[in-house]
Copies of this chain bind each other. A is one copy, B any other.
C-alpha cells in the first residue's frame, strides 16, 4: 500500500514536469509499484506518408512507460539502454497502450519489459529497458 502510494507520488511529480510526454499526448496510470501503463493516440503529426506511426514515437511511448515504471521507489532513475522489436505498424488514429513490468531490480540497475498493443489488443512492439539509479537523488524532494 505504502509502496503504491510512493510509486504514484513519484509518477505525479514526474508527469507534472514532463513536457515531452504531454506534447505527445501520453497519459500514465500506475497499477502497482514497478509497473506503468502509458497510452497515446496516433495523431496526424506523428505519421509518414503511408499514415504509419514513426517508429521513434512507438519507442517514445514504450520508453515513457518504462521511465514511469522504474521511477517508483523515490530514487531518480534514468534509461541507460533499451531495445525494441517492431512487430506490426501502428496507423493514424490507433490508440496504443504500453504496459511496463519489472523483470529484475538490483542495487543500481533495473530491467523492464514493455508490450505495446493497439486498440484491437494486437502486439505492435516488444521493448526492453535497463535503468540506472542515481542513488543520491530523490524524486520527491519536497514531500
For residue A89, which residues in chain B have a CB less than 8 angstroms away from its CB? 78
Within the complex, what minimum Cβ distance (angstroms) separates A132 from chain B? 9
Q: Type the 1/0 row for A88-113, where 1 means its CB is closer than 8 Å to any CB of B.
A: 01000000000000011010000101
Q: Report yes or no: A84 in contact with B85, Cβ–Cβ below 8 A.
A: no
Interface size on A, residues (CB 8 A): 48
Cα distance, A125 to B138, chains bound together (Å): 25
- Number of copies of this protein chain within its complex: 4
> Are A20 and B54 also in contact (CB < 8 A) when A59-B60, A60-B60, A126-B111 are?
yes
Within the complex, what minimum Cβ distance (angstroms) separates A9 from chain B? 15
Within the complex, what minimum Cβ distance (angstroms) separates A30 from chain B? 17
Extra A-B contacts (9), CB below 8 Å, given A17-B50, A56-B63, A113-B113: A19-B45, A24-B56, A55-B82, A56-B56, A56-B57, A59-B82, A78-B86, A81-B85, A81-B130
Binding site for B on A (CB under 8 A): 14, 16-21, 23-24, 44-50, 53-57, 59-64, 67, 78-87, 89, 103-104, 106, 111, 113, 123, 126, 128, 130
